[in-house]
Amino acid sequence: MSKDHKAQSLLDPAILLPAMRDSVLKLNPRQLLRNPVIFVTEAVAAVVTILFLRDLAVGNGQAGFSGQIAAWLWFTVLFATFAEAVAEGRGRAQAESLKKTKSEMTARRLTSNGAEENVAATSLKVGDIVLVAAGELIPGDGEVIEGVASVNESAITGESAPVIRESGGDRSAVTGGTQVLSDELRIRITVAPGSSFVDRMIALIEGAQRQKTPNEIALSILLSGLTLIFLFVCVAIWGLAGYSATILSITVLSALLVTLIPTTIGGLLSAIGIAGMDRLVRFNVIATSGRAVEAAGDVDTLLLDKTGTITFGNRMASDFLAAPGVTQQQLAEAALLASLADETPEGRSIVALATGEFGIAMPEQRFDEIIAFTAETRLSGVDRDGRRLRKGAVDSILKFAGVTDAEAPAEFRRAVDMIARSGGTPLAVADGNRLLGAIHLKDVIKPGIKERFAALRAMGIRTVMVTGDNPVTAAAIASEAGVDDYIAQATPEDKLNYIRREQQGGRLIAMCGDGTNDAPALAQADVGVAMQTGTQAAREAANMVDLDSSPTKLIEIVEIGKQLLMTRGALTTFSIANDVAKYFAIIPALFVATYPALGALNVMGLASPQSAILSAVIFNALIIIALIPLALRGVAYRPSGAASVLRRNLLVYGLGGLILPFIGIKAIDVAVSALHLV
């Protein structure tokens, strides 16, 4: 993943030490029952331990071997529980740190005796009464019980005009994170703020409450099926060996069984799932179900709001188009002077363009008079040194300059038309009654967004831009940004219908939204991401909340979902491919005494039957530990087509899984014989 916000060391002792304790606690068979592969391993380890005790008591000379096998089988189980414990520990640590950042917002809570106390916003409970004065942030969602105040809710609604909130009636609900501009409010908290999501998240990470996701269930079924098959195989071998005049001990059969069943993926499966949630948290996204994370990997269509996601959200000056007889420099200079006192984003963007690209020196800030923009005049500007510089809507400026539509130069009209057709907004500039030209204001596409969409397309994901603009503007921006489709003049119903239509075609949809009117669409979408700054309704309807309120997050969320599934797939393939080498280690070891000819299958040239079996068991245990970092990090992911991803993963984890254990088991065998362990 490209940007890990808060990279955590894999070897953080603060996580590893408690994880070691947890891994022992997790040996409780009742807990392990959730994981059939590891449960079987534990049962087998228990049986071999009993056999070891018997060997010890009888003194038949086998105790050294069966003791080591038993120990390594226990290690196999322990390594698996350790993997889960580490993943949980990291996830918990991450979520706790999240809680801390949220708690920076404080609240003035009224105690029962009427006194005031300062507490963290996250520690507020439903029913608490808080005081919020002008300039303060409302610490949580609630209801006004006393007072009238103007509140800036632009963070939620995007509407910059303050609204009145008062006790009683329709206007009593306030939202956390909004700012009181005047007066003071007494608010009763109605929703446990922010932290409720974090708490839900922690519950998803903790083993006990963790629900298996649909894909995890399907994979568990595959793994259980394989475990059953290998159980048949091992029981059958015992019978077949009897026919072939070989008595196989339960110890070696147990060793064979545990090496064959998919312990690698079985042991790491829950760690992979937890780590996936953890990666989301690291991106400051909180999921309310594991299912949503998985669904994110499957998404076919992304519904993206234009404003803030695809464009910066403000129209910015991109060009000066001079009228006949005027140089571009003259126009730029006039536009700059006319905008000097304009503090709107548009005005600032004109200043930036003129001083930047057109290299005009920043003039002194002195004016004879400032003419502010009003809805009636629809122009603004300054009077300075006897010049009356104005910029504004084309017809207003023409009127100001005393030019009728027909009198305006053809070149100027063509330029204005061109700007409108391309989805931009034309502004005219005049100096007194002299028309200087037009400014091209347009929505500026965020840099790099086009490449992101191309990458998504390579992954097979369609992007759809949702905008309130008219179809002409929408089409122009859509083609410039490289989205696959757009919904112009979109109403909330349009969004909902679009989602329903796509879903009927069997596609999975992700969208993000923040307003209350987005809530139905968020609920309908397969992956709905609400902005933290959004309304409570939106956050309840969504299945993820983005704490940074950045709509581009959706793209990362999809990647995390995909990476989660890929890690499972890669380790499953690896685990199954490993079995080939284990057969070549153990089968000749079991039967070479009866059929010396089978020694030909000992392609690794392992020292002795006992060391071969022990080496295979040790390899099987160690590979779990070795792969914990991969399970926690996830496999490397580059956006590209399915076929090339598969080819690469098959090569690395399929072929690698086939070859690696041959080398590993041989190396362990060399060590085992050098140390005279058997």
**Binding to another protein, residues 623-652 (CB under 8 A):** 637, 641-643, 645-647, 649-650
To another protein, the closest distance from the beta carbon of 563 in angstroms equals 7
Return the bridge partners of 148, or none: 166
Return the bridge partners of 512, or none: 529
| CB-nearer residue toward another protein: 198 or 590 | 590
Residues 367-396 that bind another protein (CB under 8 A): none
Residue 536 neighbours by CB under 8 Å, 6+ apart:
141, 175, 176, 191
Residue of 172, 130, 138 lying closest to 155 (CA atoms): 138
Please state, in angstroms and rounded to a whole number, the distance separating the CA atoms of residues 484 and 498. 14
Residues 204-243 that bind another protein (CB under 8 A): 214-215, 217-219, 221-222, 224-225, 228-230, 232-233, 235-243
Q: Both tokens of residue 267?
A: 């042991």
Q: Both tokens of residue 205?
A: 């990470």
To another protein, the closest distance from the beta carbon of 357 in angstroms equals 38
Contact between 546 and 562 (Cβ < 8 Å): no
* Stretch of 283-291, 379-387, 406-414, 503-511 lying at the interface with another protein (CB under 8 A): 503-511
Residue from the set 626, 654, 656, 677 that interacts with another protein by CB under 8 A: 654
To another protein, the closest distance from the beta carbon of 637 in angstroms equals 7
As separate numbers, helices (DSSP H) first and strands (DSSP E) second, the chain gives: 23, 22
Return the bridge partners of 630, or none: none
Site string for another protein, 135-174 (x = CB under 8 A): ----------------------------------------
Residues 255-274 that bind another protein (CB under 8 A): 260
What H or E segment, with its residue span, contains residue 546?
strand 544-546
Residues 449-468 that bind another protein (CB under 8 A): 457-462
Site string for another protein, 577-616 (x = CB under 8 A): x-xx--x---x---x---xxxx-xx---------------
- In 514-552, alpha helices (H): 519-524, 536-541
Q: Both tokens of residue 136?
A: 């303060």
Contact between 204 and 195 (Cβ < 8 Å): no
The catalytic position among 55, 278, 305, 669 is 305
To another protein, the closest distance from the beta carbon of 609 in angstroms equals 14
Q: Is 405 tagged catalytic?
A: no
| CB-nearer residue toward another protein: 241 or 677 | 241
The yes or no reply on residue 659 touching another protein (CB under 8 A) is no
User: DSSP 3-state helix, strand, coil percentages of the chain (rounded to 5)?
Assistant: 55, 15, 30
What DSSP state is assigned to residue 171? G
| CB-nearer residue toward another protein: 378 or 457 | 457
Residues 408-437 that bind another protein (CB under 8 A): none
To another protein, the closest distance from the beta carbon of 213 in angstroms equals 10
What H or E segment, with its residue span, contains residue 166?
strand 163-166
| CB-nearer residue toward another protein: 72 or 653 | 653
Contact between 524 and 500 (Cβ < 8 Å): yes
SS (HEC) of 94-121: HHHHHHHHHCCCEEEEECCCCCEEEEEH
Residues 292-351 that bind another protein (CB under 8 A): 294, 297-298, 300
Number of residues that bind another protein (CB under 8 A): 74
| CB-nearer residue toward another protein: 181 or 235 | 235
Residues 517-576 that bind another protein (CB under 8 A): 561-566, 568-570, 572-573, 576
Contact between 438 and 401 (Cβ < 8 Å): no
* Stretch of 44-52, 498-506, 616-624, 625-633 lying at the interface with another protein (CB under 8 A): 498-506
Site string for another protein, 565-584 (x = CB under 8 A): xx-xxx-xx--xx-xx--x-
Using alpha carbons only, how large is the chain's radius of gyration in Å? 34
Site string for another protein, 90-109 (x = CB under 8 A): --------------------
SS3 for 652?
helix
The phi, psi pair for 49, rounded to 5°, reads: -65, -40
Residues 11-70 that bind another protein (CB under 8 A): none
SS3 for 68?
helix
Fill in the amino acid letter for 220. Answer: S
To another protein, the closest distance from the beta carbon of 301 in angstroms equals 9
| CB-nearer residue toward another protein: 249 or 307 | 249
To another protein, the closest distance from the beta carbon of 594 in angstroms equals 9
To another protein, the closest distance from the beta carbon of 128 in angstroms equals 43
To another protein, the closest distance from the beta carbon of 643 in angstroms equals 6
Please state, in angstroms and rounded to a whole number, the distance separating the CA atoms of residues 673 and 678. 7
Please state, in angstroms and rounded to a whole number, the distance separating the CA atoms of residues 185 and 418. 51
| CB-nearer residue toward another protein: 320 or 637 | 637
| CB-nearer residue toward another protein: 20 or 658 | 658
Contact between 107 and 121 (Cβ < 8 Å): yes
Please state, in angstroms and rounded to a whole number, the distance separating the CA atoms of residues 453 and 649. 24
| CB-nearer residue toward another protein: 19 or 586 | 586
The phi, psi pair for 547, rounded to 5°, reads: -70, -25
Residue from the set 118, 374, 404, 504 that interacts with another protein by CB under 8 A: 504
Please state, in angstroms and rounded to a whole number, the distance separating the CA atoms of residues 36 and 216. 13
To another protein, the closest distance from the beta carbon of 53 in angstroms equals 28
Q: Both tokens of residue 664?
A: 């590993």
Please state, in angstroms and rounded to a whole number, the distance separating the CA atoms of residues 142 and 138. 9
The yes or no reply on residue 244 touching another protein (CB under 8 A) is yes
| CB-nearer residue toward another protein: 33 or 58 | 33
| CB-nearer residue toward another protein: 311 or 649 | 649
Residue 253 neighbours by CB under 8 Å, 6+ apart:
234, 237, 238
| CB-nearer residue toward another protein: 179 or 602 | 602
To another protein, the closest distance from the beta carbon of 156 in angstroms equals 34
Kindly write down the DSSP assignment for every residue of 217-284, as one continuous string.
HHHHHHHHHHHHHHHHHHHHHHHHHHHTT----HHHHHHHHHHHS-HHHHHHHHHHHHHHHHHHHHTT
Catalytic residues: 305
